[in-house]
Structure 1
Amino acid sequence: MRLFAQLGWYFRREWRRYLGAVLLLILIAFLQLLPPKIVGVVIDGVDKNHMPGSTVWMWIGLMLAIALVVYLLRYVWRVLLFGASYQLAVELREQFYRRLSRHTPAFYLRHRTGDLIARATNDVDRVVFAAGEGVLTLVDSLVMGIAVLLVMATQISWQLTLLSLLPMPVMAMVIRHQGDQLHNRFKSAQAAFSALNDQTQESLTSIRMIKSFGLEDHQSARFAGVAAEAGAKNMHVARVDARFDPIIYIAIGCATLLAIGGGGVMVVHGILTLGQLTSFVMYLGLMIWPMLALAWMFNIVERGSAAYSRIISLLAEEDDIADGEGALPDGGGTLEMAVVRFGYPQSTQPVLHDIHFRLRPGEMLGLCGPTGAGKSAVLALIQRQFDPDEGDVRFHDISLRQLKLNAWRARMAIVSQTPFLFSDTVAMNIALGKPGATQEEIERAARLACVHDDILLLPEGYQTEVGERGVMLSGGQKQRISIARALLLETEILILDDALSAVDGRTEYQILHNLREWGRNHTLIISAHRLSALTEANEILVMQRGAVTQRGTHRELSQAPGWYREMYRYQQLEAALDAPDESDDDDGREVTHE
């Protein structure tokens, strides 16, 4: 029953719908009390031979009219009640998605994708079902049950009513105990469903890798194990669930036995008529639904409560990054980083220390270094996915902690090292951040990213569906479409996180040339393993083990001893070995590759 208290905020807001549904349910309950009374009157009239046939047909017609009115009223209350519960589903999912979109990567280190999907779908469905069917069964069972009991006690015999109710307190205690068990077991079953959902999601997203390694049988065995665990948890729930109906039917059977036995004695002694006993038994039959509904209500409400506790636990999680209140000044600004120390959450070792740089509008900063040097961590701090443990990042000489996150991130466009494309057309993927972009703007961004010609070769050009995660495109095409998506936004700061790793050298050169022209009024930050991407940077930071070990321009670093010069020479040698052999052109002149 605690779910109704948890959803009190929604019931208070939608009180008109729920009140209208409750009033109609009460009216229906009282209308349903009339047919048993009419049947009793007809039986006594026929038994005593003082009711003409026309009167009998009149009563039958009245019962048919009552049935029609009840049918229409049931339609109306279903629209009111279930309409309100479906609106709750929409709001819960909107809140859930809004919270997910605001959380930082630290949140996703704690929660797996499959579990989040399960809470947004299956758990929300359980809550909505309880907010609709739960309210229905609660009101219907209470109103109908109380009304039937009052009629039985006041209109027929209160002594027989008390006799028939003797099994009910025992039934109520047993159901309450089973409800507590159901809550705990269903919560475990939902957790098992989350694990199953997560396993499914991982298997589907990595299906190409699984097939390439021939791991189908291995993954099938793993999935079967997770599915078996989920099935076992649901069987635990089913065992408790299966006890509800037998308990109800045993209680109703005992009550009917007591009613017929006690009522028969009262008829023999002239205390009750046969018609009254028939009406009483029919009324007792009407008690079957309230009792079953009450048990069912406990069932679905406990399930909904367990599901809601899983949802609310995520909605209640505090943001890892507190939103600021400050507004950003218009125009370009200087980006400054002065980080003394930074470590990822749940990690005892710092990944960055003593990182300092100053980047003015229109300048380009290059980041390089071996794998794990901390380049991505620097970019994460700039995007304010995390806050430094010691130190600060400032823009317009304002700490990022003081700025509104949405306002700050709107100044940036990011192309990550693992580009993501939605299952949509090429044009819609490029226009993701600017849905109102014209075709000319989309094509201009594609030309800057050197992907326009590739798109025209696709079956339907810009209207080609790229498939899930861009499955029909090559890695280089996906990277360049992601770059075009970022360029279309015309943001003040553009961040490329190793975003040219899958393109060939000539295409990389052309893209960088286009970026230099485009970036005269924009700030560029490029992290790359291929050092040729950084040759035009105003300053290059060479990072090793979370610290800056060298800094300067490409010319300065390529001449100074250290990691940069060694890696640049190695990459030059590698490029020379990979270059095609020299050949002669049509005029007999030698063609050389620089």
Structure 2
Amino acid sequence: MKPLWRLNKYLYKYKGLLLLGVVFTIISNIFVIIPAQLVRIAIDYVVESFSLYRPLERGGLGEIARENFLDYVLVFGVLILIMALLRGFFLFLIRQTIIIMSRRVEYDLKNDIFEHYQELPLSFYRKNSTGDLMARISEDVSRVRMYLGPAIMYGLNLLILFPLVIFYMVSVNAELTLYSLLPLPILSVSIYFVNNLINERSERIQKSLSTLSTYVQEAFSGIRVLKAFVREEDSAREFAKASEEYKHKSIQLTKVNALFFPLIMALVGISTIITVYVGGIQVIEGEIGYGVIAEFILYVNILTWPVTSLGWVTSIVQRAAASQVRINEFLDEKNDLLSQDNLDQEIHGEIAVEDLTFIYPDSGIKALDQISFKIKAGETLGIIGTTGSGKSTIANLLMRMYDPNAGTIQIDGIDIKSYDISSIRRQIGFVPQDVFLFSDTIANNIAFGLDHPDRDLIEKAAKDADVYTNIIDFPKGFETMLGERGITLSGGQKQRVSIARAIAKEPKILILDDCLSAVDTKTENAILTALKRIMENRTSIIISHRVSSAKLADHIIVLDDGKIIERGNHETLMAQKGVYAELFEKQTQTSESLE
């Protein structure tokens, strides 16, 4: 239970609903016990009345006695009906309090987890899969809700009903109470083991279903490749194999489920037989009346579900505790990217990087080794290098997605760690290498970084990114809905929309991380010409493996294996006839041969 203690703050928050649920549970259980007592009184009354009816009938008073007898029976029937209706009403109130409380806690818990996810650094997402993150905020939270709702509700019912019923049973007949309850512990233990089997096999089914769903998703996503390589039959065969495994596990679960109700009915039947047998002997000996047997049979049936639920509730609590452990693991993750002084001020854009070294914590790869460079406000820096040279790492460090292992980054002469993280990121326009667009309209995607979207600003940004013409060619223009990850657009269009999104927020620093890799040379030149206007009086960093993207920069650094091997402007680097000049010549020849 220890992992679940963390939920106590939510229970305290909704203590009013919980306390009302307890009160309603007590009242509803009172209306369960009273009908059993009424049945005992009614049966004893019927038996006694029947023994008196014959002499009265012979004395000519049979009709009057019969009418009085039926009136009393009717009263008992109406009272039992009223008790049942009142119990139903309070059961409704219990669900309106405890179950609603559990739903509210589920809502709060999901929001807290999601909010915590948002605060965690990029390194957290590199070491955890998206599927695992989603499972903890959905499936694990749902299991915890089962503890907060049904488990608490049935647990409370058991804690209140069991002593209440036992007290009444003992007060009527202690010996009969002992005999009639003998099978119930066996029932509870049996249900516990059956439930564990059900849960274990349900877990296997979930894994099998997940595998099946993943296979189908991949098959549909890669349908072009399947058809191109004529692998439809193989794909169908593999699906049939996965489907067969799912069927087999489902049948195994069905077999265990088939044990559940027969087991309950068998043990309840045994308890009823014992009650009738022992009670019958006591009736013959004149110790109790007929009504007591009926009352005890009702009590046994009343206790059946609470005792049955004990095993089920225990299983729910175990699963909830396991899920809460997984949730707590992520909630206990700390964000080590903290602002030292929480400076929230407008920046000019001067950047100074000194002896910057960075090793990725998850892989141990040394991405940067003592990098140093300076950019004055309004200047443009080009960063050139092959794949894996550390270009994107510089962008991540400037955005403070990570903190360096050694060295410093200063903006306007102030250490980047002193700035409020949100404040500094708001003033940086970032176009990542892997473009991500949301399943929303093109206009909303471009306005994503704006607190107050402005249509003129959105259209201007689209024109500057050379994507305006493409957008207005769509039937719905800027209101065109994009598919998942922007699938509606071509690779080049997605990158240009991403550029428009970055420049729409009118940043002080603009970072383009190899964002022109999916466009042709003509489009690249058109975007660069537009960007040249945008980059005036704005600090810009163009990261690319294509020399043509960075040749307009005021300063260029060439990276190789995390180190700067050349630096200067386009003309000086060409004159050096080093790596930069070699890359330029190779790429120029390649583009000419393609043309």
Output the TM-score relative to the length of structure 1: 0.88
Shift of residue 375 of structure 1?
0.8
C-alpha spacing 1:109/1:3, structure 2 compared with 1 (3 Å):
closer
8 Å CA contact retained: 1:114, 1:195: no
2:92 paired with 1:75: yes
Corresponding position of 1:512: 528
**1:489, distance to aligned residue in structure 2 (A):** 0.9
The answer on whether the counterparts of 1:415 and 1:486 sit within 8 Å (CA) in structure 2 is yes
Q: Name the structure 1 match of 2:8.
A: 8
State the percentage of identical aligned residues.
32
Matching residue's letter, 1:261:
Y
Aligned to 1:288: 304
Aligned length: 578
SS in 2 for 1:60: helix
Are residues 1:266 and 2:277 paired? no
* Alignment RMSD: 3.0
Report the counterpart of residue 538 of structure 1 in structure 2.
554
Alignment map for 1:298-313 (pairs within 5 Å): 298-313=314-329
Mapped contact 1:339–1:388 kept (Cα < 8 A): no
Which piece of structure 1 moves more, 414-423 or 97-106? 97-106
Task: Give runs of aligned pairs for residues 136-285 of structure 1, distance below 5 A.
Answer: 136-154=153-171, 156-171=172-187, 248-285=264-301
- Deviation string 1:52-93 (CA, Å, 9 cap, x unpaired) is 222221221222222222222222221222211111222222
User: 1:553 is matched with which residue?
Assistant: 569
- 1:171 & 1:390 partners in 2: Cα distance? 65
SS at match of 1:262: helix
1:508 shift after superposition: 1.9
Structure 2: which amino acid aligns with 1:142?
L
Residue 90 (1) aligns with residue 107 (2): yes
Which residue of the other structure, out of 95, 98, 123, is the alignment partner of 1:106?
123
Cα distance change on mapping 1:352 and 1:191 into 2, 3 Å:
farther
Q: CA deviation at 1:236?
A: 8.4
Residue 354 of structure 2 contacts residue 370 of structure 2 at CA under 8 Å; is this kept in 1?
yes
Partner of 2:60: none
Are the equivalent residues in 2 in contact too, given 1:431–1:488 (CA < 8 A)? yes
**Conserved 8 A contact 1:182-1:303:** no
* Cα distance change of structure 1 residues 14 and 220 upon mapping to structure 2, 3 Å threshold: farther
- Return the alpha-carbon distance in structure 2 between the equivalents of residues 546 and 100 of structure 1: 30
Give the structure 1 partner of residue 22 of structure 2: 22
Query: Could you give the per-residue CA deviations for residues 153-200 of structure 1, whole angstroms, max 9, x where no partner exists?
Result: 11x201211222334445555666777888888778777777777667
Q: Which residue of 2 aligns with 1:384?
A: 400
Query: Offset at 1:481?
Result: 0.7
SS in 2 for 1:414: strand
Pick which of 288-297 and 195-204 moved more. 195-204
1:11 partner letter: L
Correspondence list, 1:56-67, <5 A: 56-67=73-84
Report the Cα distance in structure 1 between the residues aligned to 2:224 and 2:107, rounded to whole angstroms. 34
Q: Deviations over 1:29-54 (max 9, x none)?
A: 10111111111211111211176222
C-alpha separation between the residues in 1 aligned to 2:39 and 2:161? 18
Check whether the contact 1:190–1:307 (CA below 8 A) recurs between aligned residues: no
- 358, 363, 366: which is aligned to 1:342? 358
Contact residue 349 and residue 509 of structure 2 kept, 8 A: no
- 1:448 lines up with 2:450 in the alignment: no
Return closer, same or farther for 1:505/1:134 CA change in 2, 3 Å cut-off. same
Q: What SS does the corresponding residue of 1:48 show, helix, strand or coil? A: helix
Instruction: Indicate which of 514, 529, 551 corresponds to 2:545.
Output: 529
Q: Which residue of 2 aligns with 1:591?
A: none
Deviations 1:508-530 (A, max 9, x none): 22222222222223211111122
* 2:149 paired residue among 129, 132, 135: 132
Following superposition, the deviation at residue 264 of structure 1 comes to 1.2
Residue 387 of structure 1: SS of its match in structure 2? coil
Which string of whole-angstrom CA distances, capped at 9 and with x for unpartnered residues, describes residues 379-401 of structure 1?
Answer: 12212222222222222333333
The answer to whether the 8 A contact 2:143-2:323 is kept is yes
Rounded Cα–Cα distance in structure 1 between residues aligned with 2:327 and 2:205:
15
Q: Please state how far the C-alpha of 1:134 moved relative to its aligned partner.
A: 0.9
1:427 touches 1:463 (CA, 8 Å); kept in 2? yes
Q: Secondary structure at the match of 1:354?
A: strand
Distance in structure 1 (CA, Å) of the matches to 2:543 and 2:139: 41
Residue range with higher mean Cα deviation, 135-144 or 174-183: 174-183
Rounded to whole Å, the distance in 2 between the matches of 1:231 and 1:410 is 52
Cα distance in 1 between the residues matched to 2:253 and 2:362: 35
Relative to structure 2, which stretch is displaced further, 142-151 or 246-255?
A: 246-255
AA in 1 matched with 2:342: G
Write the deviation string for residues 351-398 of structure 1: whole angstroms up to 9, x where unpaired.
211211112221111111122211112112212222222222222333
In the TM superposition, what whole-angstrom CA distance separates every residue of 1:115-158 from its partner, at most 9, and x where no partner exists? Answer: 2222222222222122111111111122222221111111x201
Q: What is the CA distance between 1:301 and its match in structure 2?
A: 2.3
Alpha-carbon distance in structure 2 between the residues aligned to 1:330 and 1:133: 53
Return closer, same or farther for 1:359/1:234 CA change in 2, 3 Å cut-off.
farther
Instruction: Give CA-to-partner distance per residue, 1:277-316, whole Å, 9 cap, x none.
Output: 1111111111112112222212322222222222222222
Is residue 196–residue 315 contact of structure 2 (8 Å, CA) maintained in 1?
A: no
Q: CA deviation at 1:417?
A: 1.9
User: CA, structure 1 residues 105+206, in 2 after alignment: closer, same or farther (shift >3 Å)?
Assistant: farther
The answer to whether the 8 A contact 1:367-1:528 is kept is: yes
Residue 56 of structure 2 corresponds to which residue in structure 1? none
Alignment TM-score, normalising by the size of structure 2? 0.88
- Whether the 8 Å CA contact 2:123–2:361 is kept in 1: the answer is yes
* Runs of 5+ consecutive residues of structure 1 not aligned to the other structure: 580-594
Question: Residue 226 and residue 150 in structure 1: after superposition, are their counterparts in 2 closer, same or farther (change >3 A)?
Answer: same
Where does residue 118 of structure 1 map in the other structure? 135
What is residue 31 of structure 1 aligned with on the other side?
Answer: 31
Query: Displacement, 1:206?
Result: 5.8
> Equivalent residue for 2:61?
none
Q: Distance in 2 between matches of 1:297 and 1:209?
A: 49
C-alpha distance 178-309 of structure 1, shift in aligned 2 (>3 A): farther
In the aligned structure 1, how far is the partner of 2:212 from the partner of 2:119?
Answer: 26
Local SS of the residue matching 1:513 = helix
- Return the letter of the residue paired with 1:336: A
**Per residue, is there more helix in 1 or in 2?**
2
Q: Secondary structure at the match of 1:466?
A: coil
Give 1:268 deviation, angstroms. 0.8
Q: CA offset at residue 566 of structure 1?
A: 1.3
Look up the SS of the partner of 2:93 in the other structure.
helix
Q: Give the superposition deviation at 1:98.
A: 2.1
CA contact (8 A) 1:417 1:497 kept: yes
Q: Distance in 2 between matches of 1:482 and 1:501?
A: 13
SS at match of 2:138: helix
Q: Are the equivalent residues in 1 in contact too, given 2:181–2:300 (CA < 8 A)? A: no
| In 2: Cα distance, 1:575 partner to 1:477 partner | 21
Counterpart residue type for residue 110 of structure 2 = R
The match for 1:586 is none
SS at match of 1:432: helix
In structure 2, distance between residues paired with 1:528 and 1:56: 92
